Every structure is written in structure tokens, then in C-alpha cells.
């Protein structure tokens, strides 16, 4: 069935309505010389610029579009300290580095919470809701049970839930089991971004939207409006990496992710679908993620395959999935639909360090609200001579070329794996 649409339906980002993209031209002409050029005005670039400026560095942030045009004002707003694997698994796979990577993600969560709570908090509707990860079948349920044990071992409140405990968390019979983790939350992504813009400016960084960096040079960058001399350059481009960073581009797979938002639900509907208000997502390779926003809308995201998809095609798929999970929402009308780019890496882990003659950080595989903000903050320290985040110690493998050939095959395989897991219900 075609999705029922609200009369004011638009293909546009819901979050931009409360926090519009800055239409301005930025903070004056490009400087001829700075200590650091930051490429990209998302969470990562802004967090880096703020910290660098606070440490006395002159910083210019350039973005080829409006400030925040990338994933940072389009995402689901889920604040999730996770690396797709639990702490014990990470330690088994990577030894001490695995332990430090888990600690880094944990630190990223604390760092984000410090920005959005307390007296100088960025106002962005942050609530520590906890998260609910949902198993599609027996294999993923077993994985969630292991994950609960692993998180418990390191003192994180985590519960494997089934039956009545699961029913108390979600009004859906689609999933046989779930994992509840308290250390997670939700925010309004564009309001959070606007707060980071204000902090970067207050710290003294200058922000330059609609200015593309076209190449990194040994002594700075070329841009579409001239050259800037700089001691250091930070590529904070994540899934938007382009020809200015050819090496990083070979290591990153940009992948569309899409979201639909319903009209505000009634209090009864909200309580019927997500009674505890947690950030919810499932364990499928091509996962769905969903939450309620501050106005009680159902915000439901995901994608159907790895193939190119339009917002309209994605809207139909997401609305069907939403109703599969929550039949209570069969009549709920879709008010907004939009998409954005996430940065997938071959090992599904974030990376940072040096590439293309510059510093870089990114590749958060769809979980970068806390992590990319923290990575930006920590890369500022690294540029000032401190230790790099642990992810810099990982080899950063290339994504195979000829994506047009292998992506459809991988996509079909992932969907088959997802179907098999669903068939083998716990």
C-alpha cells in the first residue's frame, strides 16, 4: 500500500525546521594563512575547531555547502556508545587495542553528555532514554545475550529481555528478544549542531560555508576561492569525502540512509509503541532504527538494500517496515522524508590518523553523533602534539573498487542472511 501522506508532506529534513541550516555566507573572506584548516562543518570539524581555538590556534572551517549540510543535521539523533561488538569480543579480536577502543567509545558518550547537560548545556532536547536493540531471530538473539553478558562484565547496566520484559519495552511482536542498555540517549541533531556552531565561533574559529577545498598541499589547501596557507589540515568529511582526499576516498564507502517522520502521535499511540521511550534498532544487516521525537512523532530510519535509492522509494519501504513492526501505526500519516550519507568502512570501525597529507577522522558506520564529536575534540589534541585516539592504530583497509559490480551481490547476500535469521526465530 502507498504510504498515507500528511497534507503538508515534504521531502525535507524535519530537524531543520527547529534549527534551519544557516543561510549566511559565513565569517568574512577566507584568511590567507591560519594554523589549521578544518575541512567539513559537521560535529567532527566543529568540535575540533572549538578545541583548537581554545588552545590558541587560528582555525578556519570550510564546507562546500551550508554549515552542517552533511550527516550532522540529518541523522536519527541516537546517542549510542557502541562499536557493533561488545568489550570482550573487541578485546579478543584486538587485544589491548580492543579494550582501549571500547574505553574510547565510553569516553565519547561522557563527552557528549557533558556538552548537552549541565549549566552551559547545548539545548537540543537531550534525554538519556537508554537504548533497545532488537533481535530478528535466533542467531541475533544469541548475540544479544552474549552482548548483555559482556556489558555486565564491565559494569554497564545491560539486560537481555524476552517475553513480558520485552513487551514492557516495545509494543511489537516482531522481535523475539532484545537488549536494553541504559547508557544511551536521544537528541535533536540539528539543534545540537547549531550549539556546536555557536561554541566554535565563541572560541574564535572562523566558519566558511560554500567554500570547497579542492586539494591538500604541503603548506595548506587549495580552495574554489584561492589558497590558504596552513600548518595543519584536518579532513572531517566522513561520508562526504571527495576528490580533495583521494586516498581516504578509497577507504570509505558512502552509503545512503533514510528517515521518515509521522505526524505527532497521540500520547496513547506513543505509549503503545515505545512505552519506555528508548532509542530502538534491530540487529539486521540492513537495519531499521526508530524513536519518538520531542513532539511525539515516530522517526523511523533505515534502508532496504545497498543499491542507490531515492527518498521516495525509501519512504515507501520504511513506512511498510514501520507498520510491520508497529501495526498500531497503520493510519499514521507520513509528514517528512529525507536521507543522508553515512561513512561505511571495510572493518565497520572508525578510523583516524594521517591521509592525503592531512589529519583525518571519520568512518563511524552510522554511529557518529557521540563518536565523531569526540574524535574531532581528540584530533585537536593530536594536532597539538597529544596522543592520537586508539583507532589510529588500526590498519585502514581500502574498500574494493568496482562497487557497481559487488554492491548488488553483497546487498543480496545481506538480505538473505537477514531473512534466514528471521526464519530461525528464538
Ligand X SMILES: Cc1cc2nc3c(=O)[nH]c(=O)nc-3n(C[C@H](O)[C@H](O)[C@H](O)COP(=O)(O)OP(=O)(O)OC[C@H]3O[C@@H](n4cnc5c(N)ncnc54)[C@H](O)[C@@H]3O)c2cc1C
Q: Cα–Cα distances in Å, from 142 out to 82, 158, 306, 378?
A: 18, 15, 26, 35
Closest CB to ligand X among 135 and 187? 187
The reply on whether position 353 binds ligand X by CB under 6 A is no
At residue 50's C-alpha, the angle toward residues 240 and 205, to 5°, is 85
The reply on whether position 366 binds ligand X by CB under 6 A is yes
According to DSSP, the residues that pair with 299 across neighbouring strands are 261, 291
Q: Which residue has the cell 553478558?
A: 149
Closest CB to ligand X among 135 and 235? 235
Site string for ligand X, 206-245 (x = CB under 6 A): ------xx----------------------xxxxx-x-x-
Of 279, 386, 347, give the one whose Cα is nearest residue 101.
347
Helices (H), 117-266: 138-153, 163-167, 189-203, 246-250
According to DSSP, the residues that pair with 159 across neighbouring strands are 180
> Shortest gap between Cβ of 82 and ligand X (angstroms)?
9
Q: Which residue has the cell 550549539?
A: 195
3-state secondary structure of 359: strand
Nearest residue to the partner ligand X, using Cβ: 368
Closest CB to ligand X among 170 and 422? 170
- CA–CA separation, 334 vs 67, rounded Å? 27
The reply on whether position 63 binds ligand X by CB under 6 A is yes
Q: What is the DSSP code string of 235-291?
A: E--GGG--TTSHHHHHT-EEEEEEEEEESPPPHHHHHHH-TT--EEEE--TT-EEEE
The reply on whether position 37 binds ligand X by CB under 6 A is no
Q: How far is CA 63 from the centre of its chain?
A: 18
The reply on whether position 52 binds ligand X by CB under 6 A is no
The stretch near ligand X (CB under 6 A) out of 4-12, 260-268, 323-331, 334-342 is 334-342
Closest CB to ligand X among 104 and 176? 104
Instruction: Give kind and range of the element (H or E) at residue 93.
Output: helix 87-94
Q: Which of 13, 34, 37, 43 is the binder for ligand X (CB under 6 A)?
A: 43
Q: Which of 372, 374, 390, 418 is the binder for ligand X (CB under 6 A)?
A: 372
> Shortest gap between Cβ of 98 and ligand X (angstroms)?
20
The reply on whether position 369 binds ligand X by CB under 6 A is yes
Closest CB to ligand X among 303 and 422? 303
The reply on whether position 352 binds ligand X by CB under 6 A is no
| Interacting residue ranges for ligand X, rule: CB under 6 A | 39-45, 62-65, 69-72, 74-78, 80, 212-213, 236-240, 242, 244, 257, 259, 301, 340-342, 362, 364, 366-369, 372
Amino acid at each position: 500500500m502507498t504510504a498515507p501522506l500528511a497534507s503538508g508532506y515534504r521531502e525535507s529534513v524535519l530537524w531543520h525546521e527547529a534549527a534551519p541550516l544557516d543561510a549566511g555566507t559565513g565569517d568574512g573572506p577566507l584568511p590567507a594563512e591560519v594554523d589549521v584548516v578544518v575541512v567539513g562543518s559537521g560535529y567532527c570539524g566543529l568540535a575540533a575547531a572549538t578545541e583548537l581555538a581554545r588552545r590558541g590556534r587560528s582555525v578556519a572551517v570550510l564546507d562546500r555547502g551550508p554549515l552542517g549540510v552533511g550527516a550532522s543535521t540529518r541523522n536519527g539523533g541516537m546517542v549510542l556508545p557502541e562499536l557493533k561488538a561488545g568489550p570482550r569480543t573487541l578485546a579478543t579480536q584486538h587485544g589491548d587495542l580492543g579494550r582501549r577502543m571500547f574505553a574510547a567509545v565510553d569516553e565519547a558518550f561522557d563527552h557528549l553528555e557533558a556538552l548537552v547537560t549541565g549549566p552551559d548545556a547545548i539545548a537540543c532536547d537531550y534525554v538519556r532514554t537508554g537504548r533497545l536493540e532488537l533481535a530478528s531471530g535466533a542467531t541475533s538473539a544469541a548475540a544479544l545475550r552474549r552482548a548483555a553478558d559482556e556489558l555486565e562484565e564491565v559494569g554497564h547496566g545491560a539486560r537481555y529481555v524476552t517475553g513480558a520484559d520485552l513487551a514492557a519495552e516495545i509494543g511489537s511482536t516482531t522481535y523475539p528478544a532484545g537488549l536494553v542498555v541504559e547508557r544511551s540517549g536521544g537528541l535533536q541533531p540539528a539543534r545540537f549542531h547549531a550549539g556546536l556552531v555557536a561554541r566554535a565561533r565563541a572560541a574564535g574559529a572562523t566558519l566558511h560555508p560554500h567554500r570547497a577545498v579542492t586539494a591538500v598541499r604541503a603548506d595548506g589547501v587549495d580552495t574554489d576561492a584561492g589558497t590558504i596557507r596552513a600548518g595543519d589540515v584536518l579532513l572531517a568529511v566522513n561520508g562526504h569525502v571527495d576528490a580533495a582526499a583521494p586516498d581516504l576516498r578509497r577507504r570509505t564507502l558512502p552509503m545512503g540512509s533514510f528517515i521518515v517522520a509521522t505526524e505527532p502521535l497521540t500520547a496513547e499511540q506513543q505509549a503503545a509503541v515505545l512505552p519506555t521511550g528508548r532509542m530502538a534498532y534491530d540487529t539486521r544487516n540492513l537495519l531499521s532504527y526508530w524513536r519518538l521525537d520531542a513532539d511525539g512523532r515516530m522517526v523511523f530510519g533505515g534502508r532496504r538494500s545497498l543499491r542507490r535509492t531515492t527518498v521516495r522509494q525509501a519512504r515507501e519501504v520504511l513506512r511498510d517496515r514501520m507498520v510491520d513492526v508497529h501495526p498500531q501505526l497503520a493510519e499514521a500519516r507520513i509528514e517528512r522524508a529525507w536521507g543522508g550519507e553515512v561513512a561505511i568502512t571495510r572493518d565497520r570501525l572508525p578510523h583516524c590518523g594521517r591521509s592525503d597529507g592531512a589529519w583525518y577522522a571519520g568512518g563511524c558506520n552510522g554511529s557518529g553523533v557521540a563518536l565523531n564529536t569526540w574524535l574531532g575534540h581528540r584530533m585537536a589534541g593530536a594536532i597539538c602534539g597529544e596522543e592520537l585516539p586508539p583507532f589510529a592504530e588500526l590498519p585502514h583497509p581500502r574498500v574494493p573498487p568496482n562497487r557497481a559490480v559487488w554492491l548488488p551481490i553483497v546487498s543480496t547476500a545481506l538480505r538473505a542472511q537477514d531473512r534466514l535469521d528471521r526464519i530461525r526465530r528464538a
